[in-house]
Structure 1
Amino acid sequence: MEQKVKLKKVFGDVFFEAERVHGGDIVKARWFGAQSVETVMEGGYKFLEMMADRPYAKLLNSNKEVVGSWDMALGWAQNEWTPKMKEGGLRFLAQVVPSSIYASMTIESLVQKIDGEFEIRTFKEEADAEAWLLSIED
C-alpha cells in the first residue's frame, strides 16, 4: 500500500501528490499548476487505486495551487469517478479552493454536480479542511 504518491507531467513537473494521514483514515491530496483531462483522470484513478488498497471515508482535495480551469474533465469526474469513489466508501470531501477564479469556478461547478453523493465542504485553507475532517466521527 502506497502511503505517499507523486504524479508528474512529461517534463517532470509534479501535478498531483496524495498521502494517507492520521493513521490512513484521511487521504490528503494536492494538485499543482494547469490541469488537463489526462492529468485529472490520472490523479482520479490514483484515488481509486488507493481506495481499492485500503478504503477511506475522508478526502482532503486541495486545489489551492491549481491554475486555470479544468472543466473539460467535469463530465468524467461526475459520471465515472464520483460513483466509483462513493461505492468504495468515500463519504466526506473537503475541497480547498484555489485563488484562481477559473479554477474556483470549476470546483464550484463540480461541487454542484456531485452534491448529495458525499458530504462536501469548501475551504480556503488546508488546515481548516483537515480540522473539519478530523472533527467527524465515523
Structure 2
Amino acid sequence: NAPKNINFKKILQKSLIFALFINTASALESNIIEIMQNLQHDSDLIRKGFFLDKEDIIKEGIQKHKDDFNALQKFNIEVFLDSTTMNYSPIMKSFMSNIVEQRIALENFLAKGYKLRAYEAYQQLNLNCMKCHALSREWK
C-alpha cells in the first residue's frame, strides 16, 4: 500500500508543478499582451499630440511609452519565440534598441522645438515596432 501512495504523491507533485508552469506561462503571455496594448495606446497618444499640436499630450505619451517599454524589456524575448523564429532574437533586440534611440531622438528634437524632426523620429520608432512584429509573425 505504501508504494502506491508514493507514486500518487509523485504524480500529484509533477501535476502541480506542470500546472504552475502553465499558469506562469499564461500570466507571462497575458502580461506581454497588456504591455503591447499599452504601448499601442502610448504611440497613439504621441501621434494625437502631434496632430493636435499639443506638446503636453506628446510628452505624456512619451513618458508612458518609456514606462511601458521598460516593462517590456524586462521580459526575455526568447520565451515568446518558437523554433522557427528563435534565430530572429538578435534582430528583434536590435529593433528594440532602435526604438529606445528613436524615442530619445524624439524627446531631444521636441525639446529643441524641431517638431518635424521629432515627428520623423516618432515615425522611425513605429517603423521599428512594426519590423519586430512583422518578423515575429513571419510576414512576407
TM-score by length of 2: 0.25
Higher strand share: 1
User: TM-score, with normalisation over the residues of structure 1?
Assistant: 0.25
Higher Rg = 2
The structure, 1 or 2, with the larger RCO (C-alpha pairs under 8 Å, 6+ apart) is 1
Please identify which structure carries the higher helix content: 2
